[in-house]
Amino acid sequence: MSYRNGNYCAFYVAEPFHEGNLGAHATKDFVYYNMLRMWEAKDKTFPFIDSHDKTYNVRDGSDWEKTLKPRLHQRLKHSKNIVLFLSSLTKSSQALVKEIDYGINELNLPVIVIYPEYNTAQSLLEDGNLKHSLKDLWGKLPIFRSSMSSVPTLHVPLDKALITRALGDNDLTVNGKIDSGAYHYTS
């Protein structure tokens, strides 16, 4: 078995993907992924290990079955968890569905769900539970909604301190995971 220390970031990028005109850089979820990379580059104590750096890059116009799918599977196999960016702009693209399905249903990877449109732990909650507006977002990615009960999921806002805490939580890894279920911070 491979060394599984990476964080696999899953995010929506429009299909078909075009490299011109900013390509993925114009997609909000991709911008949030790059923000994690920037935080890690500026602060070596930020506990983000990018699984996408574990294999060589491929063009998104590459053949799905021959190139993209095997590369994504390899990256997921080297990961300890999935970091999923989920927002009102997220769509259920082929790649995102395949990543989540394989990561959760085949590899049993825990998921850290980051909600970019929320900025505090309390903003995710209503009466101590996750808001219905968050649960409605799960419907944007049906494979996540139907699979999430089989692994631990931690729901966090776009807050560097809480993301740092989540990424550093050894319980939210494939080897040290806690019981399946939806978790959140209260502060």
- Is 1 part of any domain? no
Q: Give me the pLDDT at residue 24, please.
A: 52
Flag whether 81 is in a domain: yes
Looking at residue 14, its pLDDT comes to: 67
For range 11-35, the mean pLDDT = 68
The answer to whether position 118 is within a domain reads yes
In a domain? residue 151: yes
Q: How far apart are CA 54 and CA 49, in angstroms?
A: 9
76 contacts 102 by C-beta, under 8 angstroms: yes
In a domain, 21, yes or no: yes
What pLDDT was estimated at residue 115? 98
| Gap between the Cα atoms of 65 and 63, Å rounded | 6
For residue 50, give the DSSP letter. B
Alpha helices, DSSP H, located in 47-152: 69-77, 94-100, 132-138, 142-147
170 lies in a domain?
Answer: yes
Q: Which domain holds residue 21?
A: 6-184
48: amino acid identity, one letter: F
* CATH, residue 29: 3.40.50.11200
Residues 6+ apart with CB under 8 A from 140: 86, 88, 90, 91, 92
CA atoms within 13 A on the CB side of 6: 20
Mean of the pLDDT values across residues 157-178?
Answer: 94
Would you say residue 26 has pLDDT above 60? no
Domain count, the chain: 1
In whole angstroms, how far apart are CA 155 and each of 88, 94, 117, 124, 135? 15, 23, 12, 8, 11
Kindly state whether residue 91 falls inside one of the protein's structural domains: yes
What contacts 164, CB < 8 A, 6 or more positions away?
A: 46, 47
Higher pLDDT, 70 or 1: 70
pTM of the full structure: 0.89
Residue range 166-171: average pLDDT?
A: 95
Check: CB of residue 83 under 8 Å from CB of residue 53: no
Task: Give the pLDDT band of residue 61 (cuts 50, 70, 90).
Answer: low
Quote the Cα angle for 132-47-90, to 5°: 35
Tell me, yes or no, whether 174 lies in a domain.
yes
